[in-house]
Amino acid sequence: MSDDIDFFVSYASVDAAWAEWIAWTLEKDGDYKTCIQAWDFAPGTNFVSKMHEAAASSRHTVAVLSPAYLRANFTEPEWAAAFTQDPVGNYRRLIPVMAETCKPKGLLAAIVYISLVGLDEASARDALLRGVSDRPGTRPLRPPAFPGARRPEDPAIPPTFPGPRITASQGRRDQVAQAADIQVRSLPEHLAPRPTPSDLHAPDPVPWVPLTAIPAVRWEPDPHIAAGDPETSRLELHLIPVSSGSSVAKADLSVVRNALAAVGRSNAIFPVTATVSVQTGVDHVTAMLTASAGAVEAGLRVDANGERSGWLCLPPTEMSDIALLVSAELGRLLAALISLPPALPEGVTFAAAISGRAKLQPQGWLHSRDLTVHAQQVATQLGNQLTTAATG
């Protein structure tokens, strides 16, 4: 598959009409190149392989959000592949488009989405094109042109708009106001991204600084694995302060204690309805999700010296998919650790491990001002190195 695809359209099968309308609009009105299962996956090809190839080779993934999309089995790996490359959203690898009212959870809940809910076709077209543009708000309005009452089988004829139709008797809508109906969800202030680089497809390299000394890491003990579940491994990530001349301030554990569970839930480390125990020690505070068998399934910890740690259990996974899974989960852990109070120290380094398989010691450090810009690259690099060590 060509690597010059602008948008891979990910959708649930019941939303095929929306997906085809979105792809057609992007190609004909936006002059973009798209990839969509209905048009580009020939009979006899491997569905899963083609999905993986499309998600990997496209510059952006458009996720057509609906209740069906959130329930489908194959949609999560499609949007997760884009999220892994850009968990902070600086390069907009993942662009959700809400076609039907729904409530994204976990990682999807933090991503800005374009809403087409309730819009007529002209307003929906303008909202879509403005939303995917590198400079939202600059594209002029286009006159509406409904293609007909029936969606043709031949994609050479524009697909019918799946949303509501506005008749002349209903009056003209305020298209400018509706076109700006893009729902924005705020990240924590210290996570606000810098202005997007002019070249979205060639991110700057991570500005690693060599370590003059390897800091100690407070590794978690090997997890207790429930009987009959030998394939479970734990992934852990540590964010460790590095002093570049000034002393590292002690963390106020009382403030951290009140934030641990909420940050864990908002970043899908802990299920929203699960009971999370928070324990305070002499030099640390920990939030843990414990299974019925006594195994700690997930946790977040902040030490008084400023080290932040997070861990979760990896599900049994095919070896061909382990790198993608590890990078995605490291991205989730990193987002949680960055979100925790207090503000990050001037410099940070990283350590990671897969229990019983590999440990990745700190190798370089970053200025914290660079971390939010390069978070997705850090997660991917750590994931690749850790996976190589675990499978080599």
User: Residue 276: how many CA atoms within 13 Å on its side-chain side?
Assistant: 24
- Please indicate, yes or no, whether residues 9 and 111 belong to a single structural domain of this protein: yes
Q: How many domains does the chain have?
A: 2
Look over the chain and give the mean of its residue pLDDT values, rounded to a whole number.
78
pLDDT confidence of residue 165: 52
Q: Minimum mean pLDDT among 5-19, 90-104, 272-286, 310-324: which range?
A: 310-324
> What CATH number does the domain containing 161 carry?
3.40.50.10140
Residue 274 and residue 185 share a domain: no
Q: Is residue 204 part of a domain?
A: no
Residues 44, 50, 51, 52, CA torsion sign? positive
380 and 304 part of one domain = yes
Same domain, 181 and 230: no
- Whether 301 has a pLDDT exceeding 90, the answer reads yes
Query: Which residues, including other chains, have CB under 8 Å from residue 21's CB and lie 6 or more apart?
Result: 159, 160, 161, 162
Q: Flag whether 291 is in a domain.
A: yes
Cis bond before residue 342 (omega within 30° of 0): yes
pLDDT of residue 88: 78
- Per-residue model confidence (pLDDT) at position 360: 94
Residue 191: its pLDDT value, please?
A: 41
Same-domain check for residues 36 and 166? yes
| 3-state SS class at 311 | strand
Domain boundaries, position 325: 209-391
Residue 239 lies in a domain: yes
Residues 142-149, mean pLDDT to the nearest whole number = 54
Asked if the model's pLDDT at residue 151 lies above 60, the reply is no
Predicted confidence at residue 128, as pLDDT, reads: 92
> Where does the pLDDT of residue 64 fall: very low under 50, low under 70, confident under 90, or very high at 90 and above?
very high
Q: Does residue 322 register a pLDDT over 70?
A: yes
Overall average pLDDT of the 19-41 stretch: 90
Give 88's DSSP letter: T
Contact 347, 339 (CB under 8 A): no
173 in the same domain as 51: yes
Please spell the DSSP secondary structure of 155-186, one letter per residue.
TTSPPPP-SPPPPGGG----HHHHHT-EE--P
Residues forming a β-bridge with 278 = 287
Highest mean pLDDT among 3-12, 174-183, 237-246: 3-12
Q: What integer pLDDT is reported at residue 182 of this predicted model?
A: 33
The confidence band for 62, taking pLDDT boundaries of 50, 70 and 90, is very high
pTM for the whole structure: 0.51
In a domain, 196, yes or no: no
Q: Do 236 and 369 belong to one domain?
A: yes
Cα-based distances in Å from 36 to 189, 206, 272, 358: 36, 33, 33, 38
254, 105: one domain: no
**Which value, to the nearest 10 degrees, does the dihedral of the CA atoms of residues 158, 162, 168, 172 take?**
-100
Q: What does the pLDDT look like over 192-227, one tens digit per residue?
A: 444 444 444 456 789 999 999 999 999 987 655 444
Same domain, 181 and 229: no
Judged against a pLDDT cut of 60, whether residue 114 lies above it is answered with yes
pLDDT at 95: 93
What the block records as the tokens of 56 is 């990997």
Are the C-beta atoms of 141 and 122 separated by less than 8 Å?
yes
Residue 347: strand pairing partners = 242, 367
DSSP per-residue codes, 226-283:
PTT-TT-EEEEEEEEEE-SSSPPPPP-HHHHHHHHHHHHHHTTSS-TTS--EEEE-SS
Residues 175 and 225 in one domain: no
Confidence of residue 185 (pLDDT cuts 50, 70, 90): very low
* 134 touches 200 (CB < 8 A): yes
35 falls within a domain: yes
Grade residue 105 by pLDDT with cuts at 50, 70 and 90.
confident
Residue 197 inside a domain? The answer is no
The number of beta carbons lying within 10 Å of the beta carbon of residue 47 is 10
The reply to whether 307 and 183 lie within a common domain is: no
Please say which residue of 191, 226, 257 terminates a domain. 191
The pLDDT assigned to 163 comes to: 61
SS3 content of the chain, % helix, strand, coil (to 5): 35, 20, 45
> Is residue 119 situated within a structural domain?
yes
Query: Residue 200 falls within a domain, yes or no?
Result: no
Place of tokens 């809400």: 98
What does the pLDDT average to over 232-252?
Answer: 79
Task: List phi, psi (to 5°) of 294.
Answer: 95, -5
Domain end position, chosen among 165, 191, 217: 191
**Same structural domain for residues 171 and 93?**
yes
Answer with the residue of higher pLDDT: 346 or 290: 346
